[in-house]
Amino acid sequence: MKPIEQPWILAGYRLFAHEGPKGLTVEGLARVVGKSKSSFYHHFADLEVFTELLLRYHLNQVHRIAEQERQCQNVIPDLVNLLLTVKENLLFDRQLRIHRTIPAFKQCFDKSTGAVGEAISGIFADMLGLAHNSALTRMVLMLSLENFYLQLTPETLTYDWLVGYMHELQAMVRAFQANDRQQSILYGSV
């Protein structure tokens, strides 16, 4: 991104994160940046080009965050605290998920969740007690991310909510494991 484009991209990022694609209007962007609409068209041919740059910017952000996620030693509190510092990025991903019927948004969302999944799968597996089963870890992670974005709002994105969400995931996996052990006892190991 060129330095002169930065205010536009940052404004678009915030608008998209909170309002989705309907927030991306030339008028709204110009108002937030404090420039004229013609200034927008001077830097970007149209909203489609701008949106492509915005998605590219998001993926760069995601890869930067994924590197930070890899450095986390555990989910609570390390990953949770990191997530609280990147709220806008999470809300941007949420909008991509909501509007994934748009092919470019789906592609960006898939790349984003793939990068996140790869970055946190190790500590996620440890948290859930699934370090011995990477395939199951990946499935639970993808399902929990889907559910995470369904529940995510600017208001719910708090430390307590994130910790509670992680505890719910742990409880769910423990319940499945207990049920599996019970089935093995009742029916014998297959």
Within-domain flag for 158: yes
Instruction: Provide the residue range defining the domain that includes 10.
Output: 6-187
The number of distinct structural domains making up the chain is 1
Residue 190 has pLDDT above 60, yes or no: no
What pLDDT was estimated at residue 66? Answer: 98
Within-domain flag for 1: no
Mean per-residue pLDDT of the chain: 94
Single pTM value for the model = 0.91
pLDDT higher for 182 or 90? 90
> Which of 177, 127, 121 is closest to 145 using CA atoms?
121
Within-domain flag for 111: yes
What pLDDT was estimated at residue 186? Answer: 59
Residue 42 has pLDDT above 60, yes or no: yes
Within-domain flag for 52: yes
State how far the Cα of 14 lies from the Cα of 28, in Å rounded to an integer. 11
Residue 151 has pLDDT above 90, yes or no: yes
State how far the Cα of 61 lies from the Cα of 59, in Å rounded to an integer. 5
Mean per-residue pLDDT for 138-150?
Answer: 94
State how far the Cα of 90 lies from the Cα of 114, in Å rounded to an integer. 14
| Range of lowest pLDDT (34-38, 96-100, 129-133, 180-184) | 180-184
The domain spanning residue 74 has which CATH number? 1.10.357.10
Within-domain flag for 56: yes
What pLDDT was estimated at residue 57? Answer: 98
Q: How confident is the model at residue 178 (pLDDT cuts 50, 70, 90)?
A: confident
First-to-last alpha carbon distance for the chain, in angstroms, is 57
Number of Cβ within a 10 Å radius of residue 27: 9
